[in-house]
Homo-oligomer: A and B are copies of this chain.
Amino acid sequence: MSTNNISSAVINRLPRYYRFLADLLREGVDRISSSKLSQRMGVTASQIRQDLNNFGGFGLQGYGYNVKFLHEAIGKILGLDTAHNMIIIGAGNLGRALANYADFENLGFFIISLFDSNPELEGTSVRGIPVRRMEGLADFIKENHVDIALLCLPKSYAIETARMLVRYGIKAIWNFAHIDLELYLPSDVLVENVHLSESIMRLSCKMARKDESERPDAENE
């Protein structure tokens, strides 16, 4: 099945479907109607039908969706049918926190090494995953199959380090530095940025708007 004509908005929603379907599987639910799934996910049933119709034939009128089949099909679109090896660049608090997330392994993402420029961290490990020095990075990438590099560095080092990773052959970067990394890299390098500060700003924005709408003179503005 080709997925290249599915809109990026739908693609962006697939991980959330996948998560809910995994929960249903764990609960032993075999099939679910779009209306039940709609209640659970807090989106409209018509949105669900529209999104899932992209993949054709998952839902049957009067029967609902086959949870296992849908979970597997979406997992395949998300690339979860193949395992991914990852390395973490930067073994500070965030790098170590991510290395400790065993959850990623359940999805087939395996962290095989951390790297840090601090020589004192060499030989230490996080949950059995070794921390190596940056000097060994090029050889490590050559000798191991590394699919994704996680960038857990301050903004000031991020671009330079990412370009180095690309020179060493890395084609996908999961970036935690406060920067839109794709703007600085060749277009064939895939980047996903996690902007934690933008997330907290969205929350405080909601708070400010709620305060505003609750003020007694709100209508007069």
Contact = CB atoms under 8 A, between A and B. Distances in A.
Contacts of A195: 15-16, 19
A172 interface: yes
A206 B180 contact: no
Given A107-B197, A178-B103, A212-B3, A204 B93 contact: no
A67 interface: no
B203 A192 contact: yes
A210 interface: yes
A116 B183 CA distance: 40
A55 interface: no
A143 interface: no
Chief secondary structure at chain A's binding surface: helix
A205 B19 contact: no
A12 interface: yes
A94 B126 CA distance: 13
A204 B180 CA distance: 18
Nearest to A106: B197
A144 interface: no
In the A-B complex, the 8 residue pairs with the smallest Cβ-Cβ separation, listed nearest first, are A79-B208, A15-B198, A79-B204, A93-B97, A192-B203, A97-B97, A15-B201, A93-B100
